[in-house]
Amino acid sequence: MANIQLKAVRKAYGAVEVIKGIDLDIKKGEFMVFVGPSGCGKSTLLRLISGLESITSGDMLFDSERVNNVLPSQRGIAMVFQSYALYPHMNVYDNMAFGMKLAKSSKEEMDVRVRKAAQLLQIDHLLDRLPKQLSGGQRQRVAIGRAIVRDPRVFLFDEPLSNLDAALRVQTRLEIAKLHHDMSDVTMIYVTHDQVEAMTLADRICVLRDGKVEQVGTPSELYETPNSLFVAGFIGSPKMNFLTGDHAAKYNCSTLGIRSEHITIVPEGQGAWSGKVVHAEDLGSDNYLFVEVGSDEPLIVRRAGKLDIKLGTQVALAPQDGKLHRFGADGKPIA
């Protein structure tokens, strides 16, 4: 329900600057994901938006209203924490109702909202339980439920899936996506270090690096037109292939990038590169070839279907048209 603007936001702890001037517009109802390696400042940025940390300089606007010094509880936000942070001594109902109790809401309204949120998340049968009697996935739902009950303008997620096992992670990811669909006017901001989560959930992704915004865009924008070597390498799995040295010089750049699915095997003599298959992975639906072409790392080639090439085979490879990414010595793309 709110659009959020960050203007030249900085955060320093003593002499150490963690957020080094960030300008960012997050649109109303958007699902924005902050992603980046650990220590890039993504969690700090989320905490600045939540108000749990105060910004050192710059401005933070919610719907054009300056909120630099507004208490977290008055910003209209709700937050889902990494460790769920449920109150261990309260049952699920009280956990979800605590905020409304403090806001002195009427008992009836509170009851309606708690039960509605519980129904939405299918935890209405757990309302009397204590957090310690719940499974990890159930705790996660309660944490989300507690956030829903606050009826927030902005929903903040701080790596909410990192404590779940792989299967549960996929399932919960799906539910968060559904939640976003159901609450389409609520702005959601989600922090993760996992680029798969970022790609699958986000309307737009903000890649952070060392306290600065590296690139903001839709998942496909970031995937197809990364505006730096860093983003190109960070987004996408497997990682984009990078070729340097002579390979890159041929294309007038210092680094040449090509995604694994944009390389095709061509008849001997016609390809741009050739080499031996040194390793292969068969995933059933796809297979990956690792081809040694004389660069730092083998080129990874993604092909559909079953693996049908033996290790040690010599293959010739060619990039698909227009799928090459050329980067200069500064890491920026060359148009």
Residues engaged in binding other proteins (CB under 8 A):
50-52, 54, 57-58, 66, 68-74, 77-79, 81-83, 85-89, 98-99, 102-103, 146, 150
CB of 62 to other proteins, least distance (A): 13
CB of 73 to other proteins, least distance (A): 3
Q: Which C-beta is closer to other proteins: that of 67 or that of 231?
A: 67
Contact 307, 203 (CB under 8 A): no
Q: Which C-beta is closer to other proteins: that of 65 or that of 210?
A: 65
Grouping H, G, I as helix, E, B as strand and the rest as coil, residue 157 is strand
Q: Which residue has the tokens 């669909």?
A: 181
Rounded to a whole number, what is the distance in angstroms from the first to the last CA of the chain?
A: 38
CB of 57 to other proteins, least distance (A): 5
Grouping H, G, I as helix, E, B as strand and the rest as coil, residue 239 is coil
Q: Which C-beta is closer to other proteins: that of 18 or that of 263?
A: 18
- DSSP secondary structure letter of residue 178: H
SS3 content of the chain, % helix, strand, coil (to 5): 30, 30, 40
Residues 6+ apart with CB under 8 A from 320: 262, 263, 264
Q: What tokens does 185 get?
A: 């006017």
Q: Which C-beta is closer to other proteins: that of 40 or that of 60?
A: 60
- 112 phi, psi to nearest 5 deg: -60, -45
> 248-283: b or e for each residue (b if 16 or more CB lie within 10 Å)?
beebebbbbbbbbbbbebeeeeebbbbbebeebeee
Strand runs (DSSP E) across 218-266, as ranges?
Answer: 241-243, 255-258, 263-266
- Which among 85, 38, 84 has a CA at the least distance from the CA of 191? 38
CB of 89 to other proteins, least distance (A): 4
Q: Which C-beta is closer to other proteins: that of 146 or that of 169?
A: 146
CB of 8 to other proteins, least distance (A): 10
Q: Which C-beta is closer to other proteins: that of 158 or that of 214?
A: 158
CB of 320 to other proteins, least distance (A): 47
Q: Which C-beta is closer to other proteins: that of 72 or that of 233?
A: 72
CB of 182 to other proteins, least distance (A): 21
